[in-house]
């Protein structure tokens, strides 16, 4: 299902989404954006500035590493890969997100009134 308007990205989730994308293979920025948009069937739209801020932040924290490479269409690009610390962080962030989302969903879909 494709939404007409993209959903806003919840603050703090771009890092986790980038780490998840990179958990499959090293990618350059445009590939990361395409991967996230494809997995969300277009519902999530990550701005380039937010993506590159996240990549720089993750690199500074040692959660991703980058090397220069050449794309399929012969363009020079930085390829990012997740590090061991990044995989550990992704696992923790995923567990926290699932717990958070489940809790909020339970509250929002609750049929009971005040305790």
pLDDT 10s per residue in the chain (115 long)?
444 577 777 777 999 999 999 999 999 999 999 999 999 998 988 889 999 999 999 999 999 999 999 999 999 999 999 999 999 999 999 999 999 999 999 999 998 777 6
pLDDT attached to residue 109: 95
| Among candidate residues 77, 21, 76, 94, the one with its CA nearest the CA of residue 54 | 21
In a domain, 57, yes or no: yes
Number of separate domains in the chain: 1
pLDDT attached to residue 12: 78
**Separation between Cα atoms, residue 36 and residue 21, nearest integer Å:** 7
pLDDT attached to residue 18: 97
pLDDT attached to residue 9: 78
What does DSSP assign to residue 7? B
In a domain, 94, yes or no: yes
In a domain, 1, yes or no: no
pLDDT attached to residue 76: 96
For 92, the domain range is 14-105
pLDDT attached to residue 1: 46
In a domain, 110, yes or no: no
Do residues 57 and 89 lie in contact, with contact meaning Cβ atoms separated by under 8 Å?
no
pTM, 2 dp: 0.86
In a domain, 24, yes or no: yes
What is the CATH number for 63?
A: 1.10.10.10
**Is 83 in a helix, a strand, or coil?**
coil
pLDDT attached to residue 115: 66
pLDDT attached to residue 3: 47
In a domain, 8, yes or no: no
In a domain, 114, yes or no: no
In a domain, 61, yes or no: yes
pLDDT attached to residue 27: 97
């Amino acid at each position: 299902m494709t939404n007409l308007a993209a959903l806003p990205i919840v603050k703090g989730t771009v890092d986790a989404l980038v780490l998840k994308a990179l958990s499959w293979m090293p990618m350059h920025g445009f590939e990361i954006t395409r991967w996230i948009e494809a997995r969300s069937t277009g519902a999530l739209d990550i701005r380039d500035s937010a993506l590159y801020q996240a990549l720089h932040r993750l690199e500074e924290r040692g959660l991703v590493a980058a090397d220069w490479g050449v794309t399929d269409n012969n363009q020079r690009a930085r390829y990012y890969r997740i590090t061991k610390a990044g995989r550990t962080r992704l696992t923790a962030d995923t567990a926290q997100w699932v717990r958070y989302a489940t809790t909020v969903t339970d509250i929002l879909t609750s049929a009971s009134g005040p305790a």
